[in-house]
Amino acid sequence: MLGSDLVMYEEEFKLIDAELQRLLAQANAKVVFLVDKNGQLIAATGETENLDTTSLASLTAGNIAATGGMAKLLGEKEFSILFHEGARDNIHISIISQRVILVVIFDQRSSLGLVRLRVKKSADVLAGIFNQLLEKVETGKTTGKADSPFAEITDEDIDKLFG
């Protein structure tokens, strides 16, 4: 296997979702979402109906990757917070546990100060959940317990994907 894959289980997903919803409410934000550093959307909450979250996730990861490249050139480990200010909406992006990216979109109903404060608190909670998740994945690997959807896969299954 290449590197370690990201795996999400029901239990941790619920915890993450609950934390994102709490952050959404406490920060008075419009949308809160969590992205893997490789651009995979992990969870999203808030006014996401008319939002292309898949594309946003990919661009956020690209943005963090590019900023990380700049940091390296300057001898920094990473720039852990990015902030984009718009006429109506603003985006606050932060890296959690060096692996996942927390994105908060907010408008004039909130403020950068409030968002920063609430993000800081949520970051600790989310980091804890991800540590728990990683431990679980590792244990699953060593005990061979992971109930893999791939174990029984056949060529026919794959051919079906392409109709």
Partner 1 sequence: MSFINYSSREINCKIVFYGPGLCGKTTNLQWIYKKTNPDSKGKMISLATETERTLFFDFLPLALGEIRGFKTRFHLYTVPGQVFYDASRKLILKGVDGVVFVADSQIERMEANIESVENLRINLAEQGYDLDKVPYIIQYNKRDLPNVVPVQEMRRALNPRGLPDFEACAVDGNGVFDTLKAIAKLVIMELKKGQ
* Least Cβ distance, residue 127 to partner 1 (angstroms): 19
Q: By C-beta, is 4 or 111 nearer to partner 1?
A: 4
Q: Decide if 83 contacts 90 (C-beta within 8 A).
A: yes
* Least Cβ distance, residue 30 to partner 1 (angstroms): 20
* Least Cβ distance, residue 108 to partner 1 (angstroms): 28
**Which tokens is 150 given?**
């791939």
Burial letters 85-105, b for 16+ CB under 10 A, else e:
eeeeebbbbbbbeeebbbbbb
Q: By C-beta, is 26 or 53 nearer to partner 1?
A: 53
Q: Decide if 60 contacts 34 (C-beta within 8 A).
A: no
Q: Rounded distance, CA 113 to CA 83, Å?
A: 12
Q: By C-beta, is 108 or 147 nearer to partner 1?
A: 147
What are the residues facing 94 on neighbouring strands?
81, 102
* Least Cβ distance, residue 158 to partner 1 (angstroms): 5
- Mapping DSSP to helix (H, G, I), strand (E, B) and coil, where does residue 95 land? strand
* Least Cβ distance, residue 11 to partner 1 (angstroms): 8
**Residues at the interface with partner 1 (CB under 8 A):** 1-10, 12-14, 36-40, 42, 52, 54-55, 58-59, 62, 65-66, 68-69, 146-153, 155, 157-158, 160-163
Q: Rounded distance, CA 64 to CA 120, Å?
A: 18
